[in-house]
Chain A
Amino acid sequence: MADPNQTGGSDNQKVEQPSRRKFLVQAGYAVGGVIVGGALGSLIRRDKKTETAPGASPGEGAAEARNYNRALMFFNQEQLNIVSAATERIFPADDAGPGALALGVPFFIDHQLAGEWGFNSREYMSPPFFAGEKEQGYQGRLKRREMFEIGLREMENHSQTKYTKGFTELAPEQQDEVLRAFESDEVKLTTISASGFFKMLRSSTLEGAYSDPLYGGNADMNGWRMRAYPGNQMSYTDVIDKDFAVIAPSSLQDHLSAH
């Protein structure tokens, strides 16, 4: 059962938990008189007046709405700047739509590194550690947050050595050169694999562009909008056998507010 206290914020004093049966009947989820179970059954129904949760996307009316999620949990400012510049090269703004920066990707990565993923907490990190074959996968002892610290520092070192400038001050083409040198392992690092770090940077960029905005990226669902992805929808029963059509996206926050 979802714990009402966990929804946080100050707007949930009026949480009301209707009987599951009542809700399912109202929602029409009954099969021949038998109630069919579903997550819908336990939804916390909010008072209509409190439907919009705090921190809702700026553009949506409330001029005073501020995004308090845009602060740092892990990176220092220099790291944030390098990540911002690098991810924007990996996923640049163009005619189709925003790039990594505008989508909030650097904040997404920062927040991820501060949590479970950054600590590799659900992965096997026990010794002994041996270098293996490529097919055996990651065998290092370092956690993702440590790899990021090292990787970013080495990008900076490489930029200084090669161009006598910091990564963020390089021309875009030079930044691409640096990234390519990491991608191809042309840069040799002792503690981590340069290409392994690049891969992680690339995949977390895409995660930040397209994950639910709740994680700090995909700002205002503009990543989804760019590729006509509808996000979280309750049902496609009516469109599954129809030709492609654009559906306005919806987020998990919309889902929470609506129920």
Chain B
Amino acid sequence: MAKTLPKTDVVVVGVGWAGGIIAAELTKSGLNVVGLERGKERKTEDYFMVHDELRYALRYELMQDLSKDTVTFRSQEKVRALPMRQYGSFLLGEGLGGAGVHWNGQTYRFLPYDFQIRTKTIERYGKGKIPEGMTIQDWGITYEELEPYYDKFEKLTGISGEPNPLGGQRSADYPTPPMKKSPALSLFNEAASKLKLHPYMMPSANLSQNYTNPDGISRGACQYCAYCERFGCEYGAKADPVVTVLPVALKTGKFEIRTHSNVRRILHKGGKATGVMYTDSTTGEELIQPADIVVVTSYVFNNVKLLLMSGLGKPYDPASGTGVIGRNYAYQVTKGNAAGFFEDKEFNMFAGAGALGVTLDDYNGDNFDHSDLKFIHGAAISLSQTGMRPIANNPVPGGTASWGAEFKANSVKYANRFLSVGGQGSSMPFQHHFLDLDPTYKDAYGDPLVRLTFDFEEQDRQLAMYVSNRCADIMKEMGANHIDQLKSLGPYEITMYQSTHNTGGVVMGASPDTSAVNTYAQMWDAENVFVVGASAFPHNSGYNPTGTVGALAYRTAEGIIKYRQKGGMLV
């Protein structure tokens, strides 16, 4: 029998960016919050030996232990789904701060087009532009309505940047000026300007200068140490929940964090949650944490898993396209890029920061005419300088052998003579891409793994080639002597790292028929359950997701405070 603990106002499942923001905002407003996190404690002091490419980038020191929980994957329903036994395509966060500890900090806002993608696509191109099976839908909220929350997240994290000339309206400038421009960034910037494109410095959570945020939290400037993506920041410069929102929540005295707590069920009665059941992974004991409000912030896969395991919300049925839990899984199309080799120029690419880069949105969203193109949306195109660490970065010009004397000579020769321009391609949902529970494989607690059914579509293949060609145009202008680019986008493979930008499964919207939560992340089927994260995105834009996750979390916090006072559905 599970032991029942004293009741709390709010229980938060998973303590990353989404859970951390909710915890800080709710405790500041006076609510008592318990945060259950299945990983371990983390603090900046842990990163004394962090400049270790093998341990952190290649052995995944900070990522979820796959021996305990993973997902299964198949390209389509006819194929048997098999477990992701080793890391590849995406890297899951675990422990305090979640993936926010080892992210890059590239912090974008989505485009106004994104939030009304269906309406605006039909307006400009007609219904025929949306192919059979593509389930894009408006988000139930506009960019203008979300703008104040973007601003909040940017001030929390101290984003360093300059306005995107092709982005939505901003109510305020970025809180800190852009990062420093390296010679490689300048080269890209000049080439893009010559091509009459609109480059701007990538919005960065790495901090161009020391910064104190509205919560009174101070962080030092980024040292461009180049061990950022997949690493924790030993300076506490990179915005991460552990150095921003969590201390704020803890200072109120109303936040209790319990690590090593693996939540397995949301308990509910009569359409309302009563709390959660979890296992203390250090003792194996099952515990019940009663709460008035349950907030689920355990990332896309576990958000879907918890709802399905708990029988909350109608499971998605791909055959009929009805039901909502597991619906509209989407990802990111990252292979549209161009690699340039330079014979007589060397670049300091050993240095860098997670969000050091120059970006342009001329080929993103609906910023360009798609009338003659066989895809919608597009990609942010960037040159980023995140640090070319030597094990993972051994680029050689196409045609070079992959080992032996020729490989070694070229990999050493081009180690500092290589630049890459790449697109962060948007990803549209399709009726047959979804998440559900695997019938065969189990996690360490005997619960099913989440099953992912996904592949690239013609939309993605067209988009990737188009974006790759635009990247090559810029690389040519940059003066590369040899350019290699994408030949064709093959099938989706779970073995190769692309991005940890999984989206959908518990999407938001205006109607309970096509969404699981409203625009306050409140479940249509259980008014005191809020499900926050990229799981709420009805599609994924041509950017990294976390700026939008943060904005939605702030809006949700506001909604929960309102709900606490008045009850009922917020929309």
Contact = CB atoms under 8 A, between A and B. Distances in A.
Interface of A: 1-2, 29, 31-32, 34, 36-43, 89-92, 94, 96-97, 99, 116-117, 120-126, 128, 130, 132-139, 176, 179, 183, 202, 205-207, 209-212, 214-215, 223-224, 226-237, 239-245, 247, 252, 255-256
B234 A40 contact: yes
Nearest to B51: A232
A241 B67 contact: no
Given A126-B441, A212-B52, 15 more contacts: A1-B45, A37-B44, A38-B220, A39-B48, A92-B404, A136-B74, A136-B494, A139-B82, A139-B85, A202-B402, A205-B403, A212-B54, A224-B390, A237-B180, A240-B356
B85 A124 contact: yes
A207 B54 contact: yes
Given A39-B48, A96-B412, A128-B440, A242 B183 contact: yes
Interface stretch (B58-66, B364-372, B462-470): B58-66
A241 B86 contact: no
B459 interface: no
Given A130-B82, A228-B415, A123 B220 contact: no
Contacts of A125: 67, 85
Interface string B48-92: 111111100011100001110010011100011011111010000
A39 B235 contact: yes
A121 B391 CA distance: 22
B284 interface: no
B416 A228 contact: yes
Contact of A241 (B44, B182, B220, B441): B182
A222 to B, nearest CB: 12
Interface residues of B, number: 78
B405 A92 contact: yes
Contacts, number: 220
Given A37-B243, A38-B234, A137-B495, A130 B80 contact: yes
B442 interface: yes
B218 A133 contact: no
Nearest 6 A/B pairs, CB to CB? A236-B351, A39-B234, A235-B223, A232-B51, A210-B390, A42-B45
Contact of B46 (A39, A132, A176, A244): A39
B347 interface: yes
Interface in B255-293: none
B225 A242 contact: no
A240 B441 contact: no
A101 B387 CA distance: 27
25 contacts: A32-B210, A34-B218, A37-B236, A39-B50, A40-B234, A43-B48, A99-B408, A120-B86, A122-B60, A124-B66, A126-B442, A132-B80, A135-B491, A136-B494, A207-B54, A211-B53, A211-B54, A224-B390, A227-B411, A229-B415, A237-B223, A241-B183, A243-B346, A244-B347, A244-B416
